Amino acid sequence: MRANQFFDLGRTLAGLAACALVSATAIAQADPLPSWNDGAAKKAIVDFVQATTTPGSAQFVPAAERIATFDQDGTLWVSHPVYAQLMFCFDRVPALVKAKPELANKEPFKTVMSGNREAIAKLSIRDLEQIAMATLSGMTVEQFSAEVKQWMAEAKDPRWKRPYNELAYQPMLEVLAYLRANGYRTYIVTGGGQDFVRVYSESTYGIPPEQVVGSANVTSYGYDKEGRPFLIKDPKLLLNDDNAGKPEGIHLMIGRRPYAAFGNSTGDRQMLEYTKAGSGLRLSMLVLHDDAVREYAYGPAQGLPDTHVGTFTQALYDEAVRSGWIVISMKKDWKKIFAFDP
């Protein structure tokens, strides 16, 4: 019996050792951020998650308070040279003109209808706002969702010839999944249209519509001829979810200060600042577009003009350094940009 007991003990110890070996291997293999090169950016993300989610850690954050916010355009997917949503607006102009023929000879719709790319590229911010307001309103919220869904299924980015949702950045999808696996709720906080992004946020980023905060028009409750109620999108801005509008939108829609925030332009400055100003350990990160080969290099930091409204300026870079935000270099920190990259 003694021999047997010894044998059993030996077997148990061997089993435990094997388990420990398997676990260590599993942990070593399960890099949550496989598309990231080792470096300050990757380390900052992993350290943040470990410090805020390990019980007993001085910087532990209760699960209910784990909120992370992400700008979309240029942070989660390609936004250069033109935002996807603006392409949607241009593509909707013919249907708009058909419904309202008086717009055919009215600028800026006339220029868009001409198809003259050079002239379209010269449209002012004010023109673009007018096009956006006209094409993003006048329909019920269900009609709008259906139109965006169809457009997303058909439209392709001119450079990669792929649907826009395939142009999500693989390393950022990994950050989203890693944070969620550690109890964080991930929100999009975009200057883009809330109703637009909500259509594809779940399938593209794993983020449900109720976790999308964005610019939003007023909607009006009314009734159709059969007396059925509907919500119609009005041509009137309710929330401008950019710049100071981002922390204001976060307070309105979430009601908690994020522990982590990710952006890529001056439009994200206040969100990153507000996040970092919270107590305890907070993570503010900026995506720098410095990879002219695999994606784009733009912004004054690269000595290149930026066609965007929001941009990554030298002043923003300086604030990042001064305030302890972490800059992500797409060129150095990311092994691959897209899921389809080799």
Using CB under 8 A, list all residues that contact a second copy.
Answer: 64, 141, 194-195, 198, 202, 208-210, 212, 216, 218-221, 228-229, 231, 238, 244, 247-248, 251-256, 270, 273-274, 277
What are the structure tokens assigned to 17, written together?
A: 């050792």
Question: Least distance (Å) from a second copy to the CB of residue 44?
Answer: 21
Closest to a second copy by CB, 18 or 315: 315
Closest to a second copy by CB, 35 or 266: 266
Question: Least distance (Å) from a second copy to the CB of residue 197?
Answer: 10
Question: Least distance (Å) from a second copy to the CB of residue 273?
Answer: 5
Residues 6+ apart with CB under 8 A from 121: none
Question: Least distance (Å) from a second copy to the CB of residue 176?
Answer: 17
Closest to a second copy by CB, 151 or 274: 274
Instruction: Give CA–CA dist 260/113, Å, rounded.
Output: 43
Closest to a second copy by CB, 47 or 210: 210
Write the single-letter amino acid at 44. A
Closest to a second copy by CB, 100 or 251: 251
Question: Least distance (Å) from a second copy to the CB of residue 215?
Answer: 11
C-alpha Rg value of the chain to the nearest Å: 24
Instruction: Give CA–CA dist 41/33, Å, rounded.
Output: 11
Closest to a second copy by CB, 244 or 309: 244
Question: Least distance (Å) from a second copy to the CB of residue 255?
Answer: 4
Closest to a second copy by CB, 115 or 223: 223
State the virtual CA torsion across 141, 227, 95, 124 in degrees, nearest 10. Answer: -50
What is the DSSP pairing of strand 283-288 with strand 212-223? Answer: unpaired
Closest to a second copy by CB, 23 or 203: 203
Closest to a second copy by CB, 241 or 290: 241
Q: What are the angstrom distances between the C-alpha of 308 and each of 160, 161, 165, 273? A: 20, 22, 20, 21
Instruction: Give CA–CA dist 189/251, Å, rounded.
Output: 11
| Cβ–Cβ < 8 Å for 237, 217 | yes
Question: Least distance (Å) from a second copy to the CB of residue 250?
Answer: 9
* Nearest Cα residue to 46 out of 55, 74, 37: 37
DSSP 37: P
* Nearest Cα residue to 44 out of 337, 320, 339: 320
Question: Least distance (Å) from a second copy to the CB of residue 125?
Answer: 22
What are the structure tokens assigned to 225, written together?
A: 């001829």
- The string of DSSP letters for 69-115 reads EE--BTTTB---SS-HHHHHHHHHHHHHHHH-GGGTTSTTHHHHHHT
Question: Least distance (Å) from a second copy to the CB of residue 55?
Answer: 21
